Structure 1
Amino acid sequence: MDAIRVSKVEQVIYSKPGSVSSGTVHLTAHHIIFRYDDVEEKEVWMPYPLISLVNRLPQTLLGKSQINFHTRTFESFSLTFNKESEASDVFETVKELTVATSVNQLYAFFYTPTPPLTSEGWTMYSPRDEYVRMGVGTRSKAWRFTDLNKDYNFCPTYPSRLVVPTRISDTTLQYASKYRSKCRIPILAYLHWANFGSITRSSQPMVGLSQSRSVQDEKLIEAIFQSHWSPESRVTNANVYGATPTNLIVDARPTVNAVANTAKGAGTENMDYYKEGKKIYLGIDHIHTMRESLAKVVEALREADQLLASINNDLHEQSTELAVLDKQALRRSGWLRHIAAIMEGTLIITKNIHVNSSHVLIHCSDGWDRTSQLSALSQLCLDPFYRTIRGFEILIEKDWLSFGHKFLDRCGHLSSDKFFLSPTGDTNSGSGADAAQAFLASMQNKFGSQSHLKETSPVFHQFLESVRQIQRQYPERFEFNERFLRQLYYHLYSCQFGTFLFNCERERKVGDGVNPPPCERTISVWDYFNSAEEMALNRNPAYDPSLDDPSRRSSDADMGVLFPSPKDVRFWHELYGRTDEEMNGKFVPPQTREIELTGPVENAEDDPVPHKTTVTEQLQDHPSKQTALENTMSSSLNVQSSGPRKSSPGIAASLQDLSLSLPDLTTMRPGSSRNSNAAASPSNPAQSRSGPSSTRPANSPIWSRAMPPELLSGSGVKSVWGKLSSNASAAFSVVQDAYAGVAKDLINSGASHAEESPERTSELRGRETLGAWGQDRSGSRSPQPRSTDNSNLNLTNPWATTSRPNRYVSLLEENPWGAPAEPDVRSNVAPSSSPQITPASDLPLDPTIGTIPTYRRPAATSGFSSRERNSPKPVPPAAPHSPSSATAVDSDPLGVGFL
């Protein structure tokens, strides 16, 4: 190949921790090989994709040139050359062959085993056979197969064969797919052998800032959670004995991540609409945190190797028993804490399925990282079949390869120039231009082409390490041993087989449409593991399948279901090439979690992720208005991603409180009084924390008041008024835009809301269902004496310019944007007083902008100053009365007109 500058270099010193040898380096198209001068030593073969970092050091005073190699299997070695040119050629050759530009250049497309392996690996997993083994179609009729995705057009990242509830049609599934990220709807992953409990998996719902909902998605999850009921038929008329209402929606993310995704148009379920279950947040961090955590572990290992190498140079063989690995650095990496979080979620799911005989729906963001970890580990604990060698291979095929995991992106098989470091200049060169060019090249190496590296993360590595934790706690329950897992990790990155090279089933079985599919051009890794030699090496001699017999009645019988301890986690020291004493010590303290479990969440009020749907329920049938509202509000949001989360109202809550004439914002905090005098009291600690500007009079305009810092602080979302506090007209525009679509929808619909709760929807009702201006909320049109009891005071008028005594204030009476009171058409009773119409201007009225009316109050109206009672207030001219105009006026609850 043209990339190979040199194929063989002799008299090379090969150094690794604890040994130094001499030999010859061979460079092939897919391996770097070191052959010892001692013929009794076995050759070292290193596939290029296993290389994680290469560092070429400057030439020494003795003329030696050294290249340091670090691998994905946590090994380090160095090659020392006698000539600088030889080191340069080897470095550039390894770089060209490691940084592939296409997956088709990887070793799997050129590998030909000798002797040939069987070709059953690609067909060993049959979705129909596996789900029938679980009981789909035999023990339970509540589930069915669908070919909706047989051409991968429904969901490109899902398998071609899906299992869904029998009660749900394919049409409903097509509508429900629009509500889930990447169209990854809830699909059956596992049906428990001991009962009808199930594990389903999906991606996050597309809730967004507008808090949208999908009836089809709600019906789909309802059918999943009710599959205990009469599983032999489509009708839900009988309950299965032992079923309990503990169905769970498991959101694997921290709550702050769910809120951040809400700002991006996604989010988490509003439990007001999923009454068949509860929801919990596991608090497992995203792929970037996991990548950084493992990097800290690798850094601690490399520092230990460097320290040990320097000690070896001084003490030689006396240093072989020294333990130089910093255990505190390993603890600070947080790696074991992340493993414990995954194990904790696995234990919750396992208990809910087996003990509670219930159902679990698992999702994270897109449903192919943390979801695959939790789903596969839970099935490993629930079903003894998956703890056999063949069963474990089928489990990986089903929950990782078939359901989709981005192996190509997460494993970084194509590598990057960033991982090849070389000296910035030639010490023998006297040209400053050459040195500058070399420096720029190194900087480009370091910072260029790193966008795809952000997708890398040790997700499958974490899964294998979690399996090792369970295997260590239950050594007699697994047919395979620790070597099997370690070999699987090795071939995850070796790219010798085609199993772990692609992101989904479609890419493996269909390909690019030009060449034959990869499943026909590469060898499956299962063909290698199922060979006779490997099977003999990977079997666990302590395996006792009788312990998994469900009929066993001994004192330690567990029906074959394992409940691993999340506190008993240790580093997989064999994988890292260290001893247990070196990495874990004699005692490993329990791994405490910084983010505790959140839940269970039964409704939106308990959810730490904001959910308020009073306004958004009315916007569901009008996508254009919903999109306009989302665009308007998203510009005023600032989502934070750190710190613990508390339950707090969301964006819709701010709109709802705004529709209630904007009461004092300090009343939104739990425990605060709604009394305006109490809120303005100097003894109020909330006001004292708001800063110097909090001393403004309570009767100042709302946009000039200081916003309390506690408002929405728990959710990390700033109030919309934070961006609009300097411009009252802008605030009016936002409110008008938000409610314009709602007001239009309420035309001719006043009576349709007669039975709705007044606390939630009174601001959205038709005018005929509400009292007129100045009337009490009981609906009576006769003047009522006003009570002087302050106990009923729960609202203040923020638009007033002077202070007034405490009294009961009607919502409609204090609405500064309301329309004049209209005669009651139904009862033909005129209002108690008719305001005088005064032209506001000599110019004609703008038909596109609603005029803000004001009213002359009768002298008997209490609560207003004499200046307010006596000053003339212009009122817009009344439109000619007609059925159409009356309907329009009656259905405009805010009186702001329509845009």
Structure 2
Amino acid sequence: PINLKTTKSQILHHHISSVEKLPLSTSGCPLIIRCKNFRLLHLLLPREKECQNVYQSLLRLSQPVKYEELFAFLYNPKQNEQQRREGWAFIDTATDFNRMGLPNDYWEISDLNKDYEMCSTYPSTLVVPKIASQATVMGSAKFRSRGRLPALSYFHRETKVRWAAICRCSQPLSGFSARCVEDEQMLQAISQANPNCPFMYVVDTRPKLNAMANRAAGKGYENEGNYSNIRFNFQGIENIHVMRNSLQKLLEVCALKSPSMSDYLTGLENSGWLRHIKAVMDAGVFLAKAVADEQASVLVHCSDGWDRTAQVCSVACILLDPFYRTMKGLMMLLEKEWISMGHKFTQRCGFLDGDPKEVSPVFTQFVECVWNLTEQFPCAFEFNERFLIDIHDNIYACQFGNFIGNCQKEREELKIQETTFSLWPFLLKQQEWYRNPLYKRSVKSGPLRPNTLPLHFKFWCGMYNRFDKGMHPKQSVLDLLLALTQKKTESERKMTDLQRVSGILRFEYFQSICSDSFKGKGCFCADQRFQERSAGILLN
């Protein structure tokens, strides 16, 4: 336990997940603080009254009831309004769609949701099939849970023969027999936007039993008999409640003091955490193979299309497109697939005092999938694990406004861009700290093909045990590589300078020989001038 009389320790109050007050002991009054960045603190206060005051204060600070109480609305990095606006404009999802070649002959940018009336949790603009009429788009929205109609996430233009796309939506309101002509037309339009492929995949990321249970509530999944040329696939990723319990069991294993190998491995297996990470990765790999190998378009959904769907589409995008393996590319992916498409960060991350059953480590799982990919392909990613960890921790810190709110409509109502600052420019100021020294832009420029056998999934000690200093070397391999890379860069710079100086001196030397009228004396004088000039330039 930390004795507050002798030890200082800093934690952000928004990072606090729970505070537990234990019974008074002969040593003092203990408090246990569990943090969202997986830090675990045992505090020992000398008196009961002090402990109670600290306990109540921490509970209040860590469970704000209003958005305005979050740190982002108070944080002032001493930037003016122009710098604030430039920070928010730095990542614009419209530029990413332009990079993909959109709009084009098959896809268009639609503003049918400009007032958020068609779907309150989608962005104001969506990419939809060009041949889909306004009636088709709006009719499909009415047949999808919470109005989350099929919209494009990623357009793959690897070849000029087929134009495969990844689209996402929520589950249909089909029940056991209901159907919707407009929704069927919408899927047909997606299929026709890839004219040289005779079919498209519809991927339900849920276990089939869960999807069937939703049919009893009037929801469920697509009836293949009602939709033309679709191939249906279930992926079996569990729901947010299973994931929350799994992480809790994992953290209990991490908190064990000197466990035996048997206890550790049994606890890790019983948590099921790596099994869930594998399930997300498997689904992403399925999408990537469908697009890259079969050139088939894919429509992805779970229940509401903002948790498992975001995970799977994001993993597939990283596998397919090397841009998303760069720092700026990952920022763009988070803006496009998570922030703008309505992942409920406030509820899933527990920013405000609310229903604990809505909290779940959905984003943490995605970040861990990316980390596993960096382990399999160490030269394919521009960033290192620090970049992933700092993004993860900044989300929970609530210092920046990017992730506050559950959707774009809510962020506009909160005036996030007028009252808070964006995280992305602050991260890029430290890009040397986040740079992967092994990164080679030319390596794996095409799709990544990870091995998803169980033995390739590792426990992420750098995330979950990073505060256990005894588990990590004094100098990590990453630090050593970064130091060597910096030395190499400095040596190359010095060599370039020397080559430049050498060129100047050679030119002056031969110029002096040609201009000197006395041959013998001229050579001697030129040699002398060469040596003096050399010494002067090198000293400077």
Structures share a fold, TM > 0.5? yes
Q: Does 1:51 align with 2:16?
A: yes
Distance 2:419 2:4 in 1: 39
Equivalent of 1:522, from 420, 423, 428?
A: 420
- Give matches, 1:186-205, under 5 Å: 186-195=150-159, 196-205=163-172
Q: CA shift at 1:506, angstroms? A: 1.1
Question: 2:310–2:338: 8 Å Cα contact kept in structure 1?
Answer: yes
Give the partner amino acid of 2:435. Answer: R
**Which whole-Å CA distance do the structure 2 matches of 1:278 and 1:545 have between them?**
35
Instruction: Give the counterpart of 2:52 among 85, 88, 105.
Output: 88
What are the Cα deviations for residues 684-716 of structure 1, in whole angstroms up to 9, with x where unaligned? xxxxxxxxxxxxxxxxxxxxxxxxxxxxxxxxx
Give the alignment partner of residue 100 of structure 2, picking from 107, 127, 134.
134
Q: Pick from 258, 264, 268 the counterpart of residue 326 of structure 1.
A: 264
Pick from 372, 395, 403 the counterpart of residue 333 of structure 2. 395
The CA distance in 2 between the partners of 1:281 and 1:182, in whole Å, is 21
On the 8 A contact 1:300/1:330 being kept in 2, the answer is yes
In structure 2, what residue type is equivalent to 1:277? I
Paired residues in the alignment total: 464
| CA–CA distance in structure 2, aligned partners of residues 45 and 325 of structure 1 | 32
Tell me the distance in 2 between the aligned counterparts of 1:95 and 1:115: 32
1:509 Cα deviation after fit: 2.2
Distance 2:93 2:170 in 1: 21
Q: Say whether the 8 Å CA contact 2:4–2:43 is kept in structure 1.
A: no
Decide whether the 8 Å contact of 1:341 with 1:566 is kept in 2: no
Counterpart residue number, 1:65:
29
The CA distance in 2 between the partners of 1:49 and 1:332, in whole Å, is: 30
Cα separation, 2, equivalents of 1:540 and 1:246: 40
2:509 maps to which residue?
none
- Aligned partner of 1:569: which letter? F
Q: Distance in 1 between matches of 2:201 and 2:471?
A: 40
In structure 1, which of residues 530, 545, 557 is the aligned counterpart of residue 441 of structure 2?
545
SS of equivalent to 1:368: coil
Matched, 1:212 2:178: yes
Partner SS, residue 575 of structure 1: helix
Partner of 1:349: 287
Report the AA paired with residue 477 of structure 1.
Answer: A
Matches within 5 A, 1:441-590: 452-511=355-414, 517-531=415-429, 534-549=430-445, 560-567=446-453, 568-577=456-465
Secondary structure in 2 aligned to 1:272?
helix
Q: Which has the higher contact order (CA 8 A, sep 6+)?
A: 2
Scaled by the length of structure 2, the TM-score of the pair is 0.82
Q: Check 1:580–1:279 CA distance in 2 against 1; reply closer, same or farther (3 A cut).
A: farther
Structure 1 residue 357: Cα displacement: 0.8
- Which amino acid is the alignment partner of residue 21 of structure 2? R
Q: Give the conservation status (yes or no) of the 8 Å contact 1:205–1:269.
A: yes
> Aligned equivalents of 1:580 and 1:464: distance in 2?
22
Structure 1 runs of 4+ with >3 Å offset: 20-24, 114-118, 322-325, 578-583
Q: Give the 3-state SS of the residue equivalent to 2:77 in structure 1.
A: coil
Deviation sequence 1:304-338 (CA, Å, 0-9, x none)? 14x68xxxxxxxxxxxxx97962211111111111
The structural deviation recorded for 1:114 is: 5.3
- For normalisation by structure 1, the TM-score amounts to 0.50
Which residue does 1:289 correspond to in 2? Answer: 242
Quick one: which amino acid aligns to residue 518 of structure 1? I
Which of 208, 215, 232 matches 1:262? 215
- CA RMSD for the aligned pairs? 2.3
1:222 to 2:183 alignment: no
Cα offset for 1:83? 2.3
Post-superposition CA distance 1:818-841 (Å, at most 9, x none): xxxxxxxxxxxxxxxxxxxxxxxx
Q: 1:324 to 1:75 in 2, by over 3 A?
A: farther
**Residues 573 and 580 of structure 1 are in contact (CA less than 8 Å); yes or no, is this contact kept in structure 2?**
no
3-state DSSP of counterpart to 1:79: strand
- Tell me the equivalent position of 1:77: 41
Q: Secondary structure of 1:46's partner?
A: coil
Code of the residue aligned with 2:458 in structure 1: it is R
Q: Which deviations, in whole Å up to 9, do the C-alpha atoms of 1:442-487 show, x marking residues without a partner?
A: xxxxxxxxxx111111101110001111111101111110100011
Task: Note closer, same or farther for the CA distance 1:127–1:181 as it changes in structure 2 (3 Å cut).
Answer: same
Unaligned runs of 5+ in 2: 473-540
Shift of 1:494: 1.1
Structure-2 separation of matches of 1:459 and 1:409: 11
Q: Residue in 2 aligned with 1:710?
A: none
Change (3 A) 1:269 1:323: closer
How far apart, in 2, do the equivalents of 1:58 and 1:127 lie? 52
8 Å Cα contact 1:246-1:356 kept in structure 2:
no
Percentage identity across aligned positions? 38
Q: Which residue type is aligned with residue 288 of structure 1?
A: H
Pick aligned residue for 2:88 from 122, 125, 131:
122
The Cα of 1:122 is off from its aligned counterpart by 2.2
Residue pair 2:17, 2:62 contacting (<8 A) in 1 also:
no
Equivalent pair of 1:406/1:503 in contact (CA under 8 Å): yes
Task: Please report how far the alpha carbon of residue 94 of structure 1 lies from its aligned counterpart in structure 2 after TM superposition.
Answer: 1.3
Stretches of structure 1 that go unaligned for 5 or more consecutive residues are: 1-13, 25-33, 35-43, 230-239, 309-321, 417-451, 512-516, 550-559, 584-899
Deviation readout 1:194-233 (Å, 9 max, x if unpaired): 0311000000000114x1111111111111112122xxxx
Q: After TM superposition, give the deviation of residue 289 of structure 1 in Å.
A: 0.7
- Output aligned runs, 1:658-697, within 5 Å: none
Q: Which has the larger radius of gyration?
A: 1
